[in-house]
Every structure is written in C-alpha cells, then in structure tokens.
Amino acid sequence: MLCYRHLNSNLNSKPRETKTRINVIISAYYTPLIHYNQHLFYLKSVSQTARGD
C-alpha cells in the first residue's frame, strides 16, 4: 500500500519529473508480476523434477 501512496504523491509533482513518475508506476506494476512469474517458474521446475521429467 505504500507504493500507491507514493504514486499519488507523484501525480502532483512537476512536469519535469514525469519520467521518474512513469518509472515508479512501471516498477509498481511490473515488479510484482516479475516475482509472480519467477515463483511460478520455480514451482514448475520443482514439480517437473519431482515427476522425473
């Protein structure tokens, strides 16, 4: 939830800080997805190893 408060504060920032705001938004949305995909990949590899594939 801290990320979203940070985003809200960035929305009121100056136009020259737009690049930073975009980077914050991108990281806030994509970082959880990356962690989720890595977790799925790990579970997939573990289950394949358990089956002996």
- Of 49, 50, 10, which is closest to residue 26 (Cα–Cα)? 10
Q: How many structural domains are present in the chain?
A: 1
Question: CA 35: distance to chain centroid?
Answer: 7
pTM, entire model: 0.35
With cut-offs at 50, 70 and 90, classify the pLDDT of residue 53: low
Query: Domain limits at 46?
Result: 2-51
Cβ distance 33 to 47 under 8 Å? no
pLDDT, residue 39, reads 84
Q: What is the pLDDT of residues 1-52, one digit of tens each?
A: 445 555 555 555 555 677 888 888 888 888 888 888 888 888 888 887 777 6
Contact indicator for 11, 21 with CB cutoff of 8 Å: yes
pLDDT at 1: 44
Query: What is residue 9's predicted lDDT score, i.e. its pLDDT?
Result: 58
